[in-house]
Amino acid sequence: MFNLNNILRENIKRLKPYSSARDDFSGEASVWIDANENPFNTGVNRYPDPHQRELKACLAQIKGVKPENVFIGNGSDEIIDLLYRVTCDPGKANAIVMPPTYGMYAVSAEINDVAITKVFLREDFSVDAEAVLAAVNENTRLIFVCSPNNPTGNLVPIDVIETIASNFDGLVVVDEAYIDFTTSESAVSLIEKYPNIFVMQTLSKAWGLAGARVGVGIGSKDLLAVMDKVKAPYNVNILSQQVALNSLNDIEAFNAKVDIIVEQRDWLSAELSKLDIVEKVYPSDANFLLVKFKDTANLFQFLLDCGIVARDRSKEKWCEGCIRLTVGTPDENEMLVKALNQYFI
Ligand code: PMP
């Protein structure tokens, strides 16, 4: 049975967080002399709202949850790091990842001196829930499930996530960075039933705000209260909060861009499949394609010479010969196909 108290580090449970005069006050005032700011207006002379109240309210509405279930980080990468710092005793705890997957789960674990247990996806990139649960021991605090998975592009079915969550006493982190590129169900619908499911999304992909660094966590109020204690007080800067609010208020522009990317993904997939040098284009629910080439020895350099920077994933298990290609604008995608047409093994 999941009990949050059992997975929190003792020092974090004891922690009295940094507090500011604005923790409980966000109303109008005529004089702000509590934070040693410079009073002269530069547009950013004031600290941002440490609790990102407006942004959380907006995200909560879009995601169909309560603001108290929304956490905002300086990108999802900050959230991954916070999850380790809140739950994993350095040198003792471990986390489970399912390669080939997003690299930061393991890098962040290493930084925090947390051991990683790798349970590889099956060759068809599906999750082996039984093997994952068999790898759990008493020091396992986190299991990372990436859906759609980077770099393979496939979704993890909701029932597989439920199986893992209902048989694990730690936290299941479902990374849905690419969820807006698919019409399949999000694990957000599970957070009420499973307090040990924490969903991560981001404004870096479908929302087009990678440079603003806005990551979104959706989970239980109790877990979020602990994460709030540990995060840097002003972890999301004022400009990013404003840019995020502007974008979130223009759902039509968002939908239009996502539609183009999804349409282009399918076009690119069909075009790449026609090429002699391509062995396989994997199906994708994300904004990228994993493509297996017959020979990648010189391909990566060839693309660079054409001014195209792609991501080489060919050194990883199950991804031998694979390059990951992000779906670009229609012009960029055409350039890519044209370039690959010039490549001969
Ligand atoms: N999760 C996955 C699966 C990703 O692929 C990425 C970015 N490549 C991230 C998280 C990081 O997102 P953010 O920009 O919000 O830090």
217 touches ligand 1 (CB under 6 Å): no
In angstroms, the CA 208 to CA 211 distance is 8
For the Cβ of 215 lying below 6 angstroms from any atom of ligand 1, the answer is yes
Looking at residue 264, its amino acid is Q
Confidence of residue 27 (pLDDT cuts 50, 70, 90): confident
Task: Judge if the beta carbon of residue 177 lies within 6 A of ligand 1.
Answer: yes
* CA 179 to ligand 1 centroid distance, Å: 12
Residue holding tokens 């999850």?
83
Which of 205, 207, 218, 247 for mutating ligand 1's site (highest number of atoms within 8 Å of CB)?
Answer: 205
pLDDT at 255: 97
101 C-beta closer than 6 A to ligand 1? no
Separation CA 65–CA 289 (nearest Å) = 31
Q: How many CB atoms lie within 10 A of CB 304?
A: 11
Residue 102 CB–ligand 1 contact under 6 Å: yes
Distance between Cα 217 and ligand 1 center (Å): 12
Q: What are the pLDDT digits (tens) for 95-149? A: 999 999 999 999 999 999 999 999 999 999 999 999 999 999 999 999 999 999 9
Q: Which residues pair with 173 in a beta bridge?
A: 144, 198
Q: What is the pLDDT of residue 65?
A: 98
Query: Cα(286)–Cα(269) distance, rounded to whole angstroms?
Result: 12
Residue 218's beta-bridge partner residues? 70, 199
Residue 25: CA count within 13 A, CB half-sphere? 8
pLDDT given for residue 23 in this prediction: 81
**Whole-number pLDDT of residue 287:** 98
Compute the distance from residue 202 Cα to the ligand 1 centre, in Å: 7
Q: What is the pLDDT of residue 312?
A: 93
CB 292 within 8 Å of CB 321:
yes
Give the per-residue pLDDT at 295.
86
Q: Which domains does the chain have, with CATH numbers?
A: 20-249 (3.40.640.10), 252-341 (3.90.1150.10)
Q: Is the pLDDT of residue 296 over 90?
A: no
Return the pLDDT at 79.
98
For residues 167-203, one letter each, b for 16 or more C-beta atoms within 10 angstroms of the residue's C-beta and e for the rest, the string is ebebbbbbbbbbbbbbeeebbbebbeebbbbbbbbbb
Nearest atom in ligand 1 to 203's CA = 15
User: How far, in Å, is the centroid of ligand 1 from the Cα of 14?
Assistant: 31
pLDDT at 344 over 80: no
Residue 175 Cβ contacting ligand 1 at under 6 Å: yes
Instruction: Note the pLDDT of residue 57.
Output: 98
Q: In this predicted model, what pLDDT tens digit does every residue of 166-185 receive, in sequence order?
A: 999 999 999 999 999 999 99
